[in-house]
Amino acid sequence: MKEETSNYKSIIIELEKEEYAIPVDVVGAIERIQHITRVPRTASFVKGVINLRGVVTPIIDLRERFGMESVAYTESTRIIIVHMGQFNVGFIVDAAYDVLDIPEESIEPAPQVIGTVDADYIKSVAKVDKRLILMLDLEKVLSHESYQAAKSTEFEG
Amino acid sequence: MENNEYLEVFIEESKEHIQSLNDQLLILENEPANMDTIGEIFRSAHTLKGMAATMGFQDLADLTHKMENVLDAVRNHHVNITSPIIDVLFQAVDQLEGMVFDIAEGGNGAADVKELVHTLQAIEQNQEVIEAIPANAHATVETALNQASAFAQLDQFELAILDQSSENGFQNLQVTIKLNEHCLLKAARVYMVFEVLEQIGEVIKSNPTVQELEEENFDLTFHVLLVTKDTADLVKQKILKVSEIEEVITESFSSVQEQADQADSASGENADRQEANESLSSKQDKQQEVNQKKKTSGVSNKTIRVNIDRLDGLMNLFEELVIDRGRLEQISANLKHAELQETVERMTRISGDLQNIILNMRMVPIEQVFNRFPRMVRQLSKDLGKQINLEIIGAETELDRTVIDEIGDPLVHLIRNALDHGVETPAVRKQNGKNEEGQLLLKAYHSGNHVFIEISDDGAGINRDKVIKKAVSNQVITEEEASHLTDKQVYQLIMSSGFSTADKISDVSGRGVGLDVVKNTIESLGGTITIESEEGKGSLFSIQLPLTLSIIPVLLVEVVREKYAVPLSSIIETAIINKVDILNAHNKQVIDFRGKVVPLINLKQIFEVPAEEEEETFYSVVIIRKGDKMAGLIVDRFIGQQEVVLKSLGEYLGDVFAISGATILGDGQVALIIDTNSFIN
């Protein structure tokens, strides 16, 4: 993928004081928090759906997806709209910064223990000017197996 | 290819012509003497051929051309229509269809049509139709081939020219020229011979090819096929004037053609494609001549073809408009400004009309789907050894394009089912005092906001006991439940999934495998399917479908602070119910609704709406139905009726329980649309 190019353009987001990178080419938009319509009986990290300029878009709370403690939304909370294959999804993150060029040579494979986030969701890490940036494996984040498992049980009535 | 812009039109029109061929052939089978039909088929084939040739789909053009020849022979009473001939023609149409589909999918429509072409050729020559081209005929005919003619493989265009020439008083000669053994410059001699030939007529083909002759790539003998007005003798004399010619033999070609055809048809697989191709290219000019003669028949009607994508685009834009209309209505209602309200009302009315027009533009007669059934029934009844008369009523009934696209497969399934399991064999029917020919009726009609499609047969019907037995043994229902079921409910069982996944269902006299798929498809379209049946008399499958899928009327309801939309099509009515009227049965809340026991479903609980429990004295209930069954949805408040645009929840969420989609309300928020079917089992 993009790692082969010398610079890895990413949107830097913040979750629980840590910085994560999402490749800029899958990001469709960055939105402020707006009314989210809850969709019953879906996984708890699925916050619901929003009207994104006429397209009904599901919203995932990344904190919950990664098993972090959930916090109230603030002024800086953002929704990152991501287009991955057939999926159109929005991620709720604590904050979103600008685009950052991550030089390829600063990228290293993810160490076994990274702390807050399950190592499965991290593809690699990058050190840029003393900042440690965790690069998300979006396919894993959106993977359906884990989503299905998290889905609540079927209706029995 | 630069033809790309015409490709779509070509494919569409080809499909129409193929359909017309199918239809007319079916008529022809029943009325072999119907000249109108033959004319119609001929025209369709002719147009198709012309189009295919123009677009450069050679195989397609070749095959149609052969069909056309057969039809021409029929038209001129050289050939009488028989069932085997119809079979071959159908095969050819199928082949054509396959080629067109190939082209539609980006292929070049190439296919090995040799066998069919030869069979058609044989028919045209009024020979017995050989069921399958026998491989054992090979050896015998091959020798015949060598003796008979050097021109076994003539392509359609060459044959066409030959045909035409004899009609116009020319004669076709096969001339065999043998050069003197000591001839030094063979190519020069050949050139001189051709000079002579071209003065007295036209060379259609040579064997070896002109190129090979020029390269002296032949022994001493070569053959040409000549169209001329001169007599054979004269031709012979003129050629002999060229020096170093040993011998000239002239024969009338038509006499050998038949043999050649026969040989040809048998050695189809053996045929040397290379050679055919070469001769083809050498005769390109001739082909062009023929092509030019083809006229495309212009059909004039007052419709235009619109790409469905454009219509979808229009529809999407209109959906946006419907959402904004909702928003405007809301604003004007809040502001209570008389002039604004008036304007909004006008706009609402106009956009309502506009909506109807757009929806109507997307309406397509169900004919499109029904069209393929006569062929299918014909084939199936042959395969099954049954006699079936298919009657179609209401093919002009119109349905939304999206529904049309989806409904074909379920109908195919049901018809197969009716033929396979419903209608009995002629012998059994006779025994039971029925007409040997089974009746299958396919009927479509509008009623209210729905379209009904019915498939009925006068076959064996469904055996209630057998269905129950099977259902109990498959644990679809318990024995106890079975005793309470009405006939209709029992018949519904054959469409339950537990029922059809079982193997060997077909030994139940009733119906067959995979009906649950049919049911699911129809329900996903917002429709329902019911079965009526009388043992020994037949069955009726009735499908009810909404006219359109994209804009639906709903009742908006509120549960705590969440808004949900319930499709009006599944609502019977709304009611306010006193808590004391709620009864308990089997630990479930039920009410007595007009004498019927209706279970209640508390949306707050089922949708896990976050809220503190409040005790209320009255419940707002939406009575919904699915087929004969009813249920009551407890909500907090009815908001009102509204037309909404159905939108998908997106791939990521996939199937969500009891939610069939979403819509965007006037205030820009998303409301979920409830799939009431999932509440009723």
Please indicate whether, in this complex, the C-beta atoms of B679 and A86 are within 8 angstroms of each other: no
Q: Chain B contact for A57, CB < 8 A? A: yes
**B513 or B101, greater pLDDT:** B101
Note whether residue B340 is domain-resident.
yes
- For chain A, the C-alpha Rg in angstroms (whole number) is 16
Residue B385 and residue B357 share a domain: no
Distance of CA B452 to the CA centre of its chain: 21
CATH number at residue B118: 1.20.120.160
Distance CA B118, CA B31 (A): 26
Measured in angstroms, the CA of A50 and the nearest CA of chain B are apart by 6
Q: Record the tokens describing residue B384, joined without a space.
A: 């099954």
Nearest 5°: CA angle at B491, between B486 and B494?
A: 140
**Domain ranges, residue B596:** 551-679
pLDDT digits over B59-113, tens only?
888 888 888 888 888 777 777 777 778 888 888 888 888 888 888 887 777 777 7
Note whether residue B303 is domain-resident.
no
At which residue do the structure tokens 């001493």 appear?
Answer: B220
CATH number at residue B665: 2.40.50.180
Residue B68 bears catalytic tag: yes
Going by pLDDT thresholds of 50, 70 and 90, the confidence category of residue A149 is very low
Note whether residue B135 is domain-resident.
no
Going by pLDDT thresholds of 50, 70 and 90, the confidence category of residue A47 is very high
At residue B500, the pLDDT reads 53
Distance CA B357, CA B548 (A): 13
Q: Record the tokens describing residue B669, joined without a space.
A: 């928020």
Residue B278 and residue B385 share a domain: no
Answer whether B266's CB lies under 8 Å from B138's CB.
yes
The CB-based long-range contact list for B605-608 (8 Å cut-off, 24+ gap) reads B606/A40, B606/A155, B606/A157, B606/B658, B606/B679, B607/A40, B607/A41, B607/B559, B607/B562, B607/B564, B607/B658, B608/A40, B608/A41
What is the share, in percent, of chain B residues with pLDDT greater than 90? 9
Residue B570 and residue B436 share a domain: no
Note whether residue B630 is domain-resident.
yes
Please indicate whether, in this complex, the C-beta atoms of B320 and A54 are within 8 angstroms of each other: yes
Distance CA B119, CA B134 (A): 11
Assess whether pLDDT exceeds 90 at residue A94. Answer: yes
Q: Chain A contact for B323, CB < 8 A? A: yes
Q: Which of B606, B653, B678 sits opposite A39 (nearest CB)?
A: B653
Q: According to the per-residue pLDDT averaged within each range, which of B31-40, B360-369, B534-543 is highest? A: B534-543
Closest chain A residue to B649 measured between Cα atoms? A56
Domain closes at, from B350, B365, B380: B365
Please indicate whether, in this complex, the C-beta atoms of B648 and A56 are within 8 angstroms of each other: yes
pLDDT digits over B560-604, tens only?
889 999 988 889 999 999 988 888 888 888 998 888 889 999 999
- Count up the domains in chain B and report the number: 5
| Chosen from B652, B659, B675, B678 to mutate, greatest number of chain A CBs within 10 A | B652
Note whether residue B2 is domain-resident.
no
Catalytic residue, chosen from B46, B65, B223, B421, is: B46
**Residue B632: which residues within 8 A CB-CB, separation 6 or more?**
B575, B577, B591, B593, B598, B599, B600, B601, B621, B622, B623, B624
Residue B270 and residue B204 share a domain: yes
Task: Residue A39: list chain B partners with CB under 8 A.
Answer: 649, 653, 656, 659, 672
Q: Is the ipTM of this complex over 0.90?
A: no
Residue B202 and residue B192 share a domain: yes
Domain closes at, from B262, B291, B320: B291
Count A/B contacts: CB-CB distance under 8 Å: 81
Q: Record the tokens describing residue B356, joined without a space.
A: 């109807």
Segment holding B247, helix H or strand E: strand B245-252
At residue A155, the pLDDT reads 40
Task: Please state whether beta strands B618-626 and B629-635 pair in parallel, antiparallel, or not at all (unpaired).
Answer: antiparallel
Note whether residue B100 is domain-resident.
yes
Note whether residue B578 is domain-resident.
yes
Note whether residue B566 is domain-resident.
yes
Residue B182 bears catalytic tag: no
**Residue B489: which residues within 8 A CB-CB, separation 6 or more?**
B628
Distance CA B132, CA B345 (A): 70
Assess whether pLDDT exceeds 90 at residue B216. Answer: no
Residue B46 bears catalytic tag: yes
Domain closes at, from B347, B365, B383: B365
Q: Chain B contact for A44, CB < 8 A? A: no
Please indicate whether, in this complex, the C-beta atoms of B657 and A50 are within 8 angstroms of each other: no
Answer whether B242's CB lies under 8 Å from B196's CB.
yes
Please indicate whether, in this complex, the C-beta atoms of B672 and A37 are within 8 angstroms of each other: yes
Residue B461 and residue B403 share a domain: yes
Q: Chain A contact for B30, CB < 8 A? A: no
Please indicate whether, in this complex, the C-beta atoms of B653 and A49 are within 8 angstroms of each other: yes
Distance CA B172, CA B164 (A): 10
pLDDT digits over B245-297, tens only?
888 888 777 644 444 444 444 444 444 444 444 444 444 444 444 444 333 33
Please indicate whether, in this complex, the C-beta atoms of A49 and B649 are within 8 angstroms of each other: yes
Residue B536 and residue B557 share a domain: no
Nearest 5°: CA angle at B423, between B420 and B427?
A: 110
Residue B631 and residue B589 share a domain: yes
CATH number at residue B181: 3.30.70.1110
Q: Chain A contact for B669, CB < 8 A? A: yes
- Name the pTM for this structure: 0.49
Task: Residue B651: list chain A partners with CB under 8 A.
Answer: 86-88
Residue B524 and residue B379 share a domain: yes
CATH number at residue B404: 3.30.565.10
Residue B430 and residue B360 share a domain: no
